[in-house]
Amino acid sequence: FLRESRFLQTEPIYTLGVATMLAAFVRFVGRPGLARGVALGIVIGLTSLARPTGFVVAALLFAGWPVLDRTALREWRKLIPVAVACLVVLTPWEVRNALVFHAFIPFSTGGGEVFALGTSTRTDGRWDGTLWRQERDSLLAAEAARVGHLLSVPEVDRTLYRVGRER
C-alpha cells in the first residue's frame, strides 16, 4: 500500500467523500439538526474540492429528500447550516483561485482538458498520452497565436471546453 500510495489520485478520495456524504445525509434526514447539518456541509464541501461532481451528488440527494419525507419542503431552513458549512470549506479555495488566476474558478481547472480529450476523434476519446499531448499542444498553440499571448490557466481550460463543444 505505501509503495503504491504515490499514485493516489482523486478517485479514492472522491469515493470516500461520496460514501461519507451518503452516510451523513441519511443521518441528517433521519433527524435534522445543527451538528448534523454542519457535518454534512463540511463533507459536501470537501468532496466537491476533490471532484466538483460532489455537488451533483449532493443536489440529487436533496432533490430526493422530499420523496423520502413529504414534510422536507417545509423544513428548508434546516438546510442553512449545511450551506454555511459548505461555504466555509470552499471559500478559502475560491479566494486562493481568485488571487492566483485573477479569475473566478469555482472549483478546479482541468475539466476542459478531460472534455476535449473525450470528444477527440484522434484518440477516440481514450487516453493516449502521446497523441493527446500532440493534439492539445497544437490546439493551444493555435489559440495563443490567435489571441497574441501565452494562455493563462483559465484560458486554457475555456479553450479546451470550447474545442470539445465544437466537435
pTM comes to 0.75
Percent of the chain predicted with pLDDT > 70 = 95
Identify the band that residue 6 occupies on the pLDDT scale cut at 50, 70 and 90.
low
Give 100-138 pLDDT, tens digit per residue.
Answer: 888 888 777 778 888 898 899 888 878 888 999 999 999
Separation of alpha carbons 16 and 10, rounded Å: 10
Separation of alpha carbons 82 and 34, rounded Å: 8
Separation of alpha carbons 18 and 4, rounded Å: 23
For residue 25, pLDDT over 90 is answered with yes
Predicted pLDDT at 1: 46
User: Are the C-beta atoms of 76 and 37 separated by less than 8 Å?
Assistant: no
For residue 8, pLDDT over 70 is answered with no
Closest CA to 151 of 121, 125, 113: 113
Separation of alpha carbons 70 and 68, rounded Å: 7
Separation of alpha carbons 6 and 53, rounded Å: 24
Range list of H helices, the chain: 10-30, 34-50, 54-68, 80-101, 111-118, 129-147, 153-166
Give 60-104 pLDDT, tens digit per residue.
Answer: 999 998 887 788 878 888 899 999 999 999 999 999 989 988 888
Separation of alpha carbons 35 and 25, rounded Å: 12
